[in-house]
Amino acid sequence: MRPVGAGRGGVGAAPWAGPRTVGGVYRFLLTPRWWGINVFAVLAIPFCIFMGSWQLSRFEDRVDNHQQQEDRSDRARTAAARPLEQLLPVDKVTSGRQASARGHYDTGHQLLVPGRTLKDKHGERQGFYVLTLLRTDGGKALPVVRGWLPGDAGAKADTAKVPAPPKGEVTVTGALQASENQGTDGVQAAGASAPGRLGMISAASLVNIVSYDVYDAWITLSDTQAPLRAVPPAAAEGSGLDLKAFQNLGYTGEWFVFAGFVVFMWFRLFRRDVEAAKDAALGIGESGQEGGVAAAGDAGAGRLGAGQEAAGQDAVGRAAAIEDDGSGEGQGEAAARAGKI
């Protein structure tokens, strides 16, 4: 049996209180610090999962819109043309549809749209659009992209190839497109600074060039005059797999990584505190180390005192032996002297 007051680590150690229970090891979970950690984890993990799922749904919606837009574009190429007024305003549904308008070209305002690329058998080639305003019977003007030519809009040799627009009243049919903006591919904000050029196809850009009203839309002809080449219609803004769609996919991964990181940190902190509690229960912590040092010091002091006591006893014994030898020799000498007498 362990004597009362005897320490587990030796002389000078704290009294042994027996092993702690499992509930005592995990008692740290009831501290205010762990209450805060648990509340944060319970709120953060569902929030991260919700945000990741929402970003994933946004990406899937963009993929579905892209597929629907491609299907509408395929149907629009073969569908019968409808009057322009029935398709306005331009949205994701009407963009790319075949629209028709009747009027006469404004030959005094034929514009070149520089910096536009077109794919052909040789790859992407740099060129410019040829745009002419159609004065419709309703009074407004419709921007009509009659085609594309390779080359530089500022070079006379290239602009000399542009054919003159038809004269008289005409009926045009083409794919309906929404007005461009600063984020549209190929737009050059400085393109309108040169005479006869247009950097962005929109009513806002044309209002400073012509004195009449302009539709907030434009069409690209499918049947063009040689040597012009037809400009294919662009997908409606926000309906294709653009950079924003892949940003949604990237955000999806980030939110799920955040949720996993919260779980990882919770288990890491939990394991660290559990190990610290077990070490404290076994007396391996700082108090246990101090008790061990004190016990080692007491044991060393005891051994030193015992050695000093043994050395003192040995010296006393030697002194007594010398004293006994000295008294014997004195008695012998006295007996010899008595014999002589």
Every domain of the chain and the residues it spans:
29-84+236-262, 96-221
Give the number of other Cβ atoms within 10 Å of residue 30's Cβ: 8
What mean pLDDT, rounded, does the chain reach? 78
Give the number of other Cβ atoms within 10 Å of residue 58's Cβ: 17
Q: How much is the pLDDT for 3?
A: 46
**Per-residue pLDDT tens digits for 106-159:** 988 899 999 899 887 777 889 999 999 999 988 899 999 999 999 998 899 999
- Following DSSP, what letter does each residue of 233-270 receive, concatenated? PPPPTTSS--HHHHHHHHHHHHHHHHHHHHHHHHHHHH
**Per-residue pLDDT tens digits for 246-289:** 888 999 999 999 999 999 999 999 999 999 888 888 888 654 44
Give the number of other Cβ atoms within 10 Å of residue 198's Cβ: 24
Between 124 and 304, where is the model more confident?
124
User: CA-to-CA distance for 197 and 141, rounded, in angstroms?
Assistant: 17
User: CA-to-CA distance for 24 and 267, rounded, in angstroms?
Assistant: 19
Between 15 and 42, where is the model more confident?
42
Residue 242: alpha-carbon gap to chain centroid: 18
Q: How much is the pLDDT for 293?
A: 43
Q: How much is the pLDDT for 270?
A: 94
Q: 246: which 2 tokens? A: 């892949």
Between 209 and 284, where is the model more confident?
209
DSSP β-ladder status, 141-150 and 217-221: parallel
What length is written for the chain?
341
Q: Assign 40 a pLDDT band (cuts: 50, 70, 90).
A: very high
- For the question of whether the overall pTM of this predicted structure is more than 0.85, the answer is no
Q: How much is the pLDDT for 290?
A: 46
Residue 334: alpha-carbon gap to chain centroid: 114
Residue 25: name the closest of 275, 198, 235, 241 by CA: 275
Q: 215-224, 279-288, 308-317 — which is least confidently predicted?
A: 308-317
Q: How much is the pLDDT for 294?
A: 45
87 has pLDDT over 70: yes
Q: 154: which 2 tokens? A: 């500022």
Backbone angles phi, psi at 178, to 5 degrees: -80, 155
